[in-house]
Structure 1
Amino acid sequence: MAEKQSLFNPGMKRKLLAVLRILLLTAAVVYLLIFISNTLLVDDQITVYFSTEDAQYLAAEQRDIIEDHDIYFQIMEELNKGPESDQLSATIPDEVELLDYDLEADTLILNFNLALRENHWGGSTGEILTIYSIVNSYTALKEVESVQILLEGQEVETLVGHLDLSRPLMYNQELVTDN
């Protein structure tokens, strides 16, 4: 009976195993580098927007985030705190709470309590600055393209009569100034 011959001789087998080990080690190193860059280089700040002194534009402030807290609630907490700079003014009325949110594709649906409307000081510019301080702050996140505003779970046509809220809103660069 004829002896079965191996496809690879012992020297070829060793070389093939060495190449496979090198490939496996390289893949592990690449995976580790990607993991480290995603965890260590994650942005640990958010951008929130407040009114300029003349109440005509929005200006950005950077805020540190707490990694294990919900970023969507953190943004609202920072907006509620108001600006750190004396050159900027708050845009969110007192007692406003973000009740919940839902991210559908790239549209973030924010559900606020009625204080957003009931405690608002009014005026078309005030309404625009309030809404776009919210919209611009949330659309600064890479996963959010647009923001839909709800009050107590209900769609609203407007906050105080000037800005159409019946559809999702996108970032508004025209309102933003460098401070």
Structure 2
Amino acid sequence: MTAEKKKLKVDQKRKLLLILRITVLLGAVIYLIFLVYTNYFISENKLVLYFSTNDANYLVVEKRAIEPEVEDYYLKLFRELKTGPKNKELKKTIPKETELLDYNLKNKTITLNFNLALKNNHWGGSTGELLTVYSIVNTYTQLDEIEYVKILLEGQAVETLVGHLDLSQALMYNQKLTKGS
């Protein structure tokens, strides 16, 4: 009878070990599914916006969750930029009266047509102009489908916003202006 008890105990241990292995494997699979979901689906529903640091020397990323396909994504980007940062250590870069009148995406270049308030209500200065323009450019060019941003005012090409930065050509992402680069 002792041999049967030992065999029974060995069989029970094997079953327990098998159950433990299955539980660990199932936990690992659930964890991997969670990682994929959070990294793919949740990050897909985030806006990446660039705002000025308080000292107006750099741009910093601020991410915001959005509802998928609630409205036009490009328009939503601009509206969130215009609203300004939620982080109190950052400053807005777009004058509040500014409106995005329309846009056109062609060959990886988005042309953004703003009203004159972007120029007329801008607080000025070379650094202010640089941070305003590149908060727009860096925000839009972080999207896969956009490499360049062209800025128009009331449908017209402009040489500069407030006298310092050449806007006659489409602009690319500027990493030098982002903090920590």
Q: State how far apart, in whole Å, the 2-side matches of 1:40 and 1:58 are.
A: 26
Shift of 1:47: 0.4
Amino acid at match of 1:86: K
2:82 maps to what in 1?
A: 80
Does residue 47 of structure 1 match 2:51?
no
Amino acid at match of 2:169: R
1:149 maps to what in 2?
A: 151
**Deviation by residue 1:11-33 (Cα, 9 ceiling, x = unmatched):** xxxxxxxxxxxxxxxxxxxxxxx
Gaps of 5+ in 1: 1-38
Q: State how far apart, in whole Å, the 1-side matches of 2:73 and 2:110 are.
A: 13
Shift of 1:118: 0.4
**Deviation by residue 1:4-55 (Cα, 9 ceiling, x = unmatched):** xxxxxxxxxxxxxxxxxxxxxxxxxxxxxxxxxxx95771111000000110
TM-score normalized by structure 1? 0.75
Shift of 1:66: 2.7
Gaps of 5+ in 2: 1-39
1:113 maps to what in 2?
A: 115
1:65 maps to what in 2?
A: 66
Q: State how far apart, in whole Å, the 1-side matches of 2:41 and 2:57 are.
A: 38
Q: State how far apart, in whole Å, the 1-side matches of 2:110 and 2:66 are.
A: 19
Shift of 1:65: 2.2
1:102 maps to what in 2?
A: 104
Q: State how far apart, in whole Å, the 1-side matches of 2:110 and 2:100 are.
A: 12
Does residue 167 of structure 1 match 2:169?
yes
Change (3 A) 1:41 1:59: closer
Provide the secondary structure at the position in 1 that maps to 2:151: strand
Provide the secondary structure at the position in 2 that maps to 1:61: strand
**Deviation by residue 1:39-97 (Cα, 9 ceiling, x = unmatched):** 95771111000000110000000012232211100001100110010110010012111
TM-score normalized by structure 2? 0.75
**Deviation by residue 1:129-154 (Cα, 9 ceiling, x = unmatched):** 00000000000111000100000000
Change (3 A) 1:83 1:42: closer
For the 8 Å contact 2:82–2:94, the answer to whether it is kept is yes
For the 8 Å contact 2:83–2:96, the answer to whether it is kept is no
Q: CA RMSD in A?
A: 1.6
1:91 maps to what in 2?
A: 93
Q: State how far apart, in whole Å, the 2-side matches of 1:130 and 1:102 are.
A: 20
Q: State how far apart, in whole Å, the 2-side matches of 1:67 and 1:59 are.
A: 24
Moved over 3 A (4+): 39-42
Provide the secondary structure at the position in 2 that maps to 1:80: helix
